[in-house]
Structures are given as C-alpha cells and as structure tokens.
Amino acid sequence: MTWELSNEPQDPPQSWVADTSDYNKSLDPNHLVTVGFEGKTGEWWFKHVHSPESIDYACGHLWVQNWGYYDPLDLSEKSLMKAEEFATGFLRNLSAWSLDLHVPRPAEGNPSAGLYTARREGFLPAV
C-alpha cells in the first residue's frame, strides 16, 4: 500500500524527503508514499517534512512510554490520565496540522506498544 521513506527519521533534511519521495513515485506511481515521521518535534517540522507534493499522507508515531508520559510500573489512574492527555493532545495536533497541509493522516502502528495489557483496555478507547 505505502512506501515509507524511513521508520521514524529524526528531523530529516527536506531535500532528502523530497528527492526520495519523488524517486519512489517515479518508480512506482501506483503506491502511496509517506515519511514515517514520529511528529514529536512540533508543528514546523511536521509540516516541513510532509509538504512535498510526492508525500501522499502524513503520519505520526505515538510513544507515551518512550517519551516519558507513561510509567508501566505506576498503576495509578493519575499515570494513565497523564498518558491519555498527552496522547489525545498529540493526535489532535497531528490531525490539525495534516488538515492545514490538505493531506490525510490515518491511524497507524500500535499506540499501546509497551503498555501492560490491563492498561490497554483503558488507554485505547481514550485515543
């Protein structure tokens, strides 16, 4: 379905994104192309890397545990709420920025990776 330029490149140069996505489209115009960007560095970077015409949709990868918003050893509601609040805000921002770019932003990946199973049931409906 999609050529992803890289899995979570950290602030890739715009020229690399544009050149690589153009090249992929020249070889295979029948498949989508996206960057594979996390989106954690804010609005400017998110819009910058998703702006080339050959990028078909935006993406962002959510890592509440890796980024320090969730502690799997803290089973308190406060801990879960902190993760939920960050996640919903993060996803809301990515969606708004994607709308500004006029590109779709489908949900992809596993937003609960690293969450203990018992906590997933509470986390997934929130996001």
pLDDT digits (tens, 9 = 90+) for 78-89: 998 999 999 999
Model-level pTM?
Answer: 0.84
Residue 115's pLDDT is: 52
Residue 13's pLDDT is: 85
pLDDT digits (tens, 9 = 90+) for 42-90: 999 999 999 999 999 999 988 888 899 988 899 899 998 999 999 999 9
Report how far residue 7's alpha carbon sits from residue 66's, in angstroms, rounded to the nearest whole number: 15
Backbone angles phi, psi at 102, to 5 degrees: 60, 40
How far is the first Cα of the chain from the last one, in angstroms, to the nearest whole number?
24
Q: How many angstroms separate the Cα of 94 from the Cα of each of 61, 76, 101?
A: 10, 28, 11
Residue 123 pLDDT > 80, yes or no?
no
* Cβ count within 10 A of residue 10: 10
Higher pLDDT, 26 or 105: 26
Return the SS3 of 76: coil
pLDDT digits (tens, 9 = 90+) for 7-45: 888 878 889 999 999 999 999 999 999 999 888 999 999
Q: How many angstroms separate the Cα of 101 from the Cα of each of 48, 57, 98, 104?
A: 10, 9, 5, 9
Task: Assign 113 a pLDDT band (cuts: 50, 70, 90).
Answer: low
